[in-house]
Amino acid sequence: MNNSKNTYRILWRWHFYAGLFCIPFLIILSISGAIYLFTPQIEHMREADYVANSTSATRTLPAQQVEKAMGAVPGGQFQSYRLPQNNQDAIRVSVLKNNQRYLVYVDPYTLDVMDVVAWDSRFIEWVKDLHGNLLAGNNGSLLVELAACWSIFLVLTGLYLWWPIESKGMAGVFYPRIRQGGRRFWRDLHAVIGMWSSLLVLFLLITGLPWTQVWGSGFKELRKSATQMTSTDWTSNKKQELQTWRLQSNGYISLSEKAYQQAMALDFAAPAELSVSDETQQVWKLTSQAQNRPLRQNAWLDNYTGEVVKRNGFGDKALLDRVIGVGIAAHEGQLFGWANQLLGVIVALALLIMSVSGFVLWRKRKPPGRLGTPPKLQQQKLSKSKGVIVLMLLLAALMPMLLISLIIILVLETWLFPKLPKVQAFLGLTN
């Protein structure tokens, strides 16, 4: 049997199985990811009503504002003070209590507490949890990681299946044959859009891996060995996020006017937050939390004099951290403004179209009582397709979750399914 034909048929079957598993996840991730791209706009709309009632009165001191905010969450620990972007902005103070983060909004002129919002109750945080763990905690996070790994396999095998072997013209290769309708239309839509969006989809999948549990944890250990640094700008789960919050809530000192004015004068990219760096030495830390991570900076301020004790920025990070930071900023749609957001929406739309068209193609070919798997060739053998073996071994070595799932599949196919002929027939594992 021709080796290229054997390879094509094997990859087609694996692409089919991987696609059926990934489609529901890709639909959820595409929609939630497209929404999350507009985090700054969504949060701005949510906070639109948090403005000072009057700017004619005397503005209160930052320390008074913090004291008022802390009183709104009895027993809470001070976490951070967000610098206002204009005189009408309400002051936002973050407070940690019982492992929950609260955002307290205070009128800087009247000291009225305008609202207390639980961090996890915000819509954008719900979207983030849906995107990262399907609202199912660590188990959901593992499923998302597994789907991401198999989606990378989907893109690579899809490119191989798309590559024209005996093409006559550009139709069906670089643009879909819309007028022909039927299964050919759905096939062209799936293949052509997949081809044009493949590199961007791969970029999103790869830049999303640092947030995952298994791959992300392993990567952090490698990063620690390479850079000798333990802290990161991103977290893999709620537990790590809580640890970061606790480290930030390590005390409180009365925020002086000099430190506040110096922080405002530094004009860091918004949102910029002040937290206590050293309670004993009376030092504040000013941090830019901009989603466009190359704009992030840190400065340490003496509370008595407002003097900048130390300062660093994105350029001072290790090369590996800068690469990751740029990737995360682009993944979140914040690296180059609205164009980045638009590009992210286009990729999300492409993933949706590919998922829907793949589902339609499956339903059109699925016979009653069968999964509809592409048929095996007579004497089809994986051992004759060295390219498939190399691809699978390479991806399995780079992505532990893919390796684990492959081992489970191998065990099922070797020992369980042969004892269940009806299941084997349904899955298309017989010739």
Category of 337 on φ-ψ map: left (φ > 0), alpha (ψ -120 to 50) or beta: left
User: What confidence tier does 9 reach under pLDDT thresholds 50, 70, 90?
Assistant: confident
**Residue listed under structure tokens 């081809």:** 195
294 and 409 assigned to the same domain: no
Extract the tokens encoding 98: 């019982």
CB atoms within 10 A of CB 276: 21
- Per-residue burial over 12-24, b = 16 or more CB atoms within 10 Å of its CB, e = otherwise: ebbbbbbbebbbe
Q: Which domain holds residue 186?
A: 3-37+133-211+340-426
32 and 141 assigned to the same domain: yes
31 and 139 assigned to the same domain: yes
27 and 164 assigned to the same domain: yes
**Total tally of structural domains belonging to the chain:** 2
- Looking at residue 1, its pLDDT comes to 47
Sheet holding 77-82, edge to edge: 113-118, 100-106, 91-97, 77-82, 272-278, 283-288, 297-302, 308-313
- What is d(CA 407, CA 83) in angstroms, rounded to the nearest whole number? 52
Is residue 219 assigned to a domain? Answer: no
Coil, helix or strand at residue 188: helix
Is residue 409 assigned to a domain? Answer: yes
Is the N-terminal amide bond of 375 cis, ω within 30° of 0? Answer: no
Mean pLDDT of the chain: 89
149 and 15 assigned to the same domain: yes
62 and 205 assigned to the same domain: no
CA nearest 393: which of 147, 153, 143?
153
Residue range 94-116: mean pLDDT, rounded: 95
- Looking at residue 390, its pLDDT comes to 82
Residues 6 or more apart from 56 whose CB is under 8 A from it? none
Q: What are the pLDDT digits (tens) for 292-335?
A: 999 999 999 999 999 999 999 999 998 989 999 999 999 999 99
Is residue 372 assigned to a domain? Answer: yes
Residue range 15-37: mean pLDDT, rounded: 96
Extract the tokens encoding 302: 């003496």
CA nearest 62: which of 323, 309, 266, 260?
260
Which of 251, 282, 316 is the last residue in one of the domains? Answer: 316
165 and 192 assigned to the same domain: yes
59 and 28 assigned to the same domain: no
Is residue 398 assigned to a domain? Answer: yes
User: What confidence tier does 80 reach under pLDDT thresholds 50, 70, 90?
Assistant: very high
307 and 369 assigned to the same domain: no
60 and 32 assigned to the same domain: no
Residue range 125-133: mean pLDDT, rounded: 95
Strand runs labelled E in 98-189: 100-106, 113-118
What is the full DSSP assignment across 296-309? Answer: -EEEEEETTT--EE
Indicate the range of 160-169, 247-256, 281-290, 357-366 predicted with least confidence: 160-169
252 and 200 assigned to the same domain: no
Is residue 125 assigned to a domain? Answer: no
Which of 283, 316, 349 is the last residue in one of the domains? Answer: 316
CA nearest 382: which of 14, 19, 17, 21?
14
Q: What are the pLDDT digits (tens) for 188-201?
A: 899 999 999 999 99
Which of 271, 300, 316 is the last residue in one of the domains? Answer: 316
Is the N-terminal amide bond of 271 cis, ω within 30° of 0? Answer: yes
- Looking at residue 230, its pLDDT comes to 65
Is residue 126 assigned to a domain? Answer: no
Alpha-carbon 113 to chain mean position: 33
> Within a 13 Å sphere around the CA of 293, how many CA atoms are in the beta-carbon half?
18
Is residue 45 assigned to a domain? Answer: no
307 and 258 assigned to the same domain: yes
Is residue 123 assigned to a domain? Answer: no
Coil, helix or strand at residue 428: coil
